[in-house]
Structure 1
Amino acid sequence: MTDSTDAPLDEPIRYEDEEKFLVRGEHAIRQIMQSLIDKRALVSGCAMPRNHTFPTSLVEVLEDDDAILIDGSASETINRSIEEASHITCVSRLDRIHVQFRLQGLTRVMQGGQIAFRADLPESVLRLQRREFYRLQVPVTQPLECAIPQHHPDGETTYDRYRVLDISGGGLALAVQAENPLLRPYKEFPGCMLHLPDSGPLSLRLMVKSLHSQLNQNGTESWRAGCQFTDLPRGGDALLQRYIFRLERQRSARDRGAA
């Protein structure tokens, strides 16, 4: 089964916005699928229309059939969500390149005594190399918080603090304990405070781009808000890049130590 502790992947991208980066043709698509298997790449799946995300991986490209197998979950709740989905949007990375594809015709099967799902071979695969999509996980041992202001009718302003799950040069993802009416997609929040270590709070404007639930391995549900930076103060970009570079350097050191 897939380990849910791996670093979170990029948010799905609208295919129609990136048509020129689509890979078509059965041979090329089979090669990409096999590379994901060979590199043991983590795949983030999103079951539609319920919009439930889950970690998985590719198990096998079926040679005599236009199909692939993906790993099932230890959670029956997640497996039912996959089984009932109209389609699954899958996101992964290959050599730091964003890879995204859609799976349809999912059927539960048993593979080596484990639950897996057979799916039709994707008709196309999005391969996109763009720096702003490389989101880095914020270590739980070094928590990062972002405070979002709430303006009340009496003129008082209070701040709701959220844990940052991952961050990039273009935005961040926030952990939301339950669906929060404040964080609605495409709503903007000026005056947010990102509390970077070794510097004062960074004031910025955020736009919520997505808000969706995630099914965890134990069957519990959590919420994730993907946000875009829409305005940064002078020098803010450099502060962010310095922090991201340090996270990336620490992650690379951990990867070398585990190799």
Structure 2
Amino acid sequence: MNLQINIGVDDVGPYLIHSRREIIALLRRLTGQRELVRMIFSEGEEAVATAVLEVGEDSVIIDSAPSAQQLERVLASSSISFDTALERIRIAFFATRIEPCMHDGLPALRIPLPDTMVRLQRREYYRVLTPRCSIQMEKEEGPPPVSFAVQNVSAGGIALIDDEKVLNPAKGTEYSNCELMLPGAQSVIATLCVMNCCDITLYNGRTARRIGCAFVNPNAAMLALVQRYVSKLERDQNARLHGGGL
């Protein structure tokens, strides 16, 4: 197992899942809930937002990388890490082999079914991230920016909550000039591409739309800023975890 992500614990042994049946069940829950997954490659130097599309008995199909250049680097990587959350429990799994394939007529990636997965039992560890993302809707009348709560953020993209269901959730839809305001950091301007969408039930019983988006051609400065923010969150969460402050 090549850990390219910060799991946040010194010994992952107690959190490893070896049961084939349980691994398949968890992966299929990720598929059913359309959770955004961070795929980390190039020796941990790059990450993109993806999703688990289909889970078989021996393999897993993952959504492809956003660009041809990134796809080339993914396929050239000797180890790839996947990091996500399922009902606020952190999930991680890994692959040393990956190959291109097609899924529903679209490019995708296939990995062998993982032998193990990491599932952090402490639900408090993976907290929902709540920066705000303001998107200027492209309409002739020029309305003011519309703000959305961001459920999580990574170097690959974001998952936002569209309470009023005002955005076009079709995969491939792009929104330019999106301002992502990171608490304690300067704002970044990005183009977002819709990768997946599902309806969720909020704590108050209302239904909202969760939209997973990938950053489109982010520049190095923006990626560095987002990665510093994510790393700071992970350090803060680790400190609270090990300090017993939860």
Partner-residue secondary structure (3-state), 1:34: helix
> Partners in 1 of 2:63 and 2:185 — Cα distance?
26
Contact 1:71 1:117 in 2 (8 A): yes
The ranges of structure 1 where at least 4 consecutive aligned residues each deviate by more than 6 angstroms after the TM superposition are 172-177
Q: Does 1:18 align with 2:18?
A: no
RMSD (CA atoms): 3.3
Q: Does 1:133 align with 2:132?
A: no
Q: Which residue pairs with 2:105 in the alignment? A: 113
Cα distance change on mapping 1:84 and 1:50 into 2, 3 Å: farther
Q: Tell me the percent identity.
A: 23
Q: Which residue pairs with 1:85 in the alignment? A: 77
The count of corresponding residues between Structure 1 and Structure 2 is 159
Partner-residue secondary structure (3-state), 1:136: coil
Return the match for 1:100 from 68, 92, 105. Answer: 92
Q: State the one-letter code of the partner of 2:110.
A: R
Q: Which residue pairs with 1:190 in the alignment? A: none
Cα distance change on mapping 1:176 and 1:102 into 2, 3 Å: farther
Offset of residue 229 of structure 1: 4.3
Contact 1:75 1:219 in 2 (8 A): no
Q: Which residue pairs with 1:247 in the alignment? A: none
Q: State the one-letter code of the partner of 2:79.
A: H
Cα distance change on mapping 1:174 and 1:89 into 2, 3 Å: farther
Contact 1:98 1:133 in 2 (8 A): yes
Deviations 1:87-131 (Å, cap 9, x if unpaired)?
211111111111111122100112222111110111111111241
> Partners in 2 of 1:118 and 1:22 — Cα distance?
22
Cα distance change on mapping 1:49 and 1:218 into 2, 3 Å: same
Return the match for 1:67 from 59, 62, 70. Answer: 59
Structure 1 segments unaligned to the other structure (5+ residues): 1-10, 143-162, 167-171, 178-214, 233-237, 242-259
> Partners in 1 of 2:56 and 2:21 — Cα distance?
13
Q: Which residue pairs with 1:218 in the alignment? A: 217
Give the TM-score normalised by the residue count of structure 1: 0.53
When Rg is computed on C-alpha atoms for both structures, the one with the higher figure is 1
Offset of residue 15 of structure 1: 7.2
> Partners in 1 of 2:59 and 2:186 — Cα distance?
35
> Partners in 2 of 1:69 and 1:95 — Cα distance?
21
Partner-residue secondary structure (3-state), 1:31: helix
